[in-house]
Chains A and B, each alone.
Chain A
């Protein structure tokens, strides 16, 4: 603090005032510049590319809504949309399962800290590794799933090459780290649940599920909100697992919008078409993003 008080840092009153007006802009400028160049501007750019026919090398040709007209006629698009909806709905299972595990682990017994960390472990590793692990788990020849099924004289199944089961198989793999994430949110939430309210409710005779539903869950609302937002965004963003496990196969049956876009743009050299798919995905996600921002701005305004 000696530095703070040294005379050399004294600033006269007038420049003081203008400095207070300029300083925040100086602070925010580098981050905002980077973010604008790499995130905000590309969104607009992609939007525009979506209205053109472009292979990435020659000059783009503007074709208006041509890409969108083709898109709505493309079976792959509808498969991908349907799979994204499946992801979205089934991924939400991460919340109740995560809560259940959190409740199971919220005890004070020997070694519980380590056990909690180990339960969280799947979230820390890369989706590429998760994909490899599960591709192997599902392996039709020697995979553990089939070994277990064989115990009950079932199977063998080849989930990742079965066009009706493949998306469910990948979503199950995705749930593994996602449940871990929701679990940790709920464990933190449970830590700060007001014990007096719980005791009071217990005195009133509430217990079990009733206590959970009417007293505990309302207090976990902030954790639930974050879990919900992150899980939904994660479901719509799904790419890594699908790419690693099946690359969209068999016969494009496990395609999601993110992967469909990647294939169109980089392997079919159709940048315009890819940008149109990305725009559709972006529009779907904007609904969630807008809701999240609206809620955030509202609470900010209320706080001030």
Chain B
């Protein structure tokens, strides 16, 4: 193990380490912690400039205010309406494509794979004008569907990379023996491969949920009405309206951060596994 376990060090180092740990954590999370505290501050605190101290009273009602006085609930719902189908769609398409690229030898296999991987890294701006144009032209502009379709398509790149690498690691013998039994290729996918990739599907779904939920750029490009805007664009727009009401903006920010954070803490193992795929082997 590197570095050397702290238990083997001097008692002084041991104690200092255990003291340094929470201090480092507090400093690291200070910006976020202050936003959480501010989300329950009173307007008097804000006006008095008490931005960083302990709130003089706990105004959980701030959260009711943002639901009441702003379309925050609608934004939150929109984010869910956009994110959930996008996750299902991209993971489904990528399971199919990833299986084909991992377990079949066919002409152009590696190039198709390279297209998915490379496309995943392009700057969004090179896609912006044509994708927006396409949305206008097909009539989906300013609907949930505009964002769902784009996210499904774009996330398929990363998902295919992920699924292909995972499926490559499955033993060929299982597939081969099913073929010998005369099982059709499609049933092999459905009854043999799909059950085996379930853990990868979970890891991927958590990750894509976070990516899509946190998207900001495309929500500026493809939608504009409050009735379809996801929470990232919504909160950014609200900030323009309440320049000084930091307690409300903070409450909105906490709300926007909540689902990915909850997802992360509940499904941490899957999340990290997905994110660090490839970090331990070439």
Contact = CB atoms under 8 A, between A and B. Distances in A.
A27 B249 contact: no
Interface in B110-128: 110, 112-119, 121-128
A5 B106 CA distance: 27
B129 interface: yes
The CB with the most chain A CB atoms within 10 A, among B31, B130, B236, B263, is that of B130
Interface string B13-41: 00001100110110011111011001000
Nearest to A54: B129
Given A16-B182, A34-B152, A132 B126 contact: no
B153 A37 contact: yes
B276 A119 contact: no
B257 A125 contact: yes
A184 B2 contact: no
Contacts of A236: 123
Given A4-B183, A103-B3, A223-B276, 16 more contacts: A4-B187, A11-B184, A21-B106, A42-B134, A117-B264, A125-B261, A128-B233, A141-B49, A193-B1, A222-B282, A237-B124, A258-B123, A258-B125, A271-B129, A282-B122, A296-B114
Interface string A262-304: 1001100001001101110110010011001100110111000
Contacts of B25: 115, 118-119
Contact of A299 (B106, B121, B233, B282): B282
A46 interface: yes
Q: Is chain A's interface secondary structure helix, strand, loop, or mixed overall?
A: helix
Contact of B260 (A46, A124, A262): A124
Nearest to A22: B185
Interface of A: 1, 3-5, 9-11, 16, 19-21, 23-28, 30-32, 34-35, 37-43, 45-46, 49, 56, 103-104, 106-109, 112, 115, 117-122, 124-129, 132-134, 136-137, 139, 141-144, 147, 176, 181, 184-185, 188-193, 195, 198, 211-212, 215-216, 222-223, 226, 233, 236-237, 239-240, 243-244, 257-258, 261-262, 265-266, 271, 274-275, 277-279, 281-282, 285, 288-289, 292-293, 296-297, 299-301
Nearest to B131: A42
A19 B282 contact: no
A119 B21 CA distance: 11
A4 B116 contact: no
Contact of A124 (B38, B179, B217, B261): B261
Given A30-B96, A285-B123, A38 B153 contact: yes
Q: Is chain B's interface secondary structure helix, strand, loop, or mixed overall?
A: helix
Nearest to A211: B2
Interface in B199-249: 210, 213-214, 216-217, 220-221, 232-233, 235-236, 239, 246, 249
A281 B272 contact: no
B124 A31 contact: no
Given A16-B182, A109-B6, A117 B217 contact: no
18 contacts: A9-B184, A27-B97, A35-B156, A43-B127, A49-B130, A115-B25, A122-B29, A125-B256, A142-B49, A144-B34, A184-B276, A222-B281, A261-B128, A274-B128, A278-B126, A288-B121, A293-B117, A297-B110
B151 to A, nearest CB: 9
A4 B119 CA distance: 37
A126 B127 contact: no
A92 B241 CA distance: 36
Contact of B121 (A19, A181, A258, A289): A289
B144 to A, nearest CB: 16
A95 B17 CA distance: 23
A271 B129 CA distance: 7
Given A42-B130, A128-B236, A129-B256, A293 B52 contact: no
Contact of A293 (B114, B232, B282): B114
A198 B1 contact: yes
A97 to B, nearest CB: 11
Contacts of A299: 282
A265 B217 CA distance: 14
A56 B268 CA distance: 45
Contact of A257 (B38, B125, B272, B279): B125
B1 A188 contact: no
A31 B130 CA distance: 19
B279 A129 contact: no
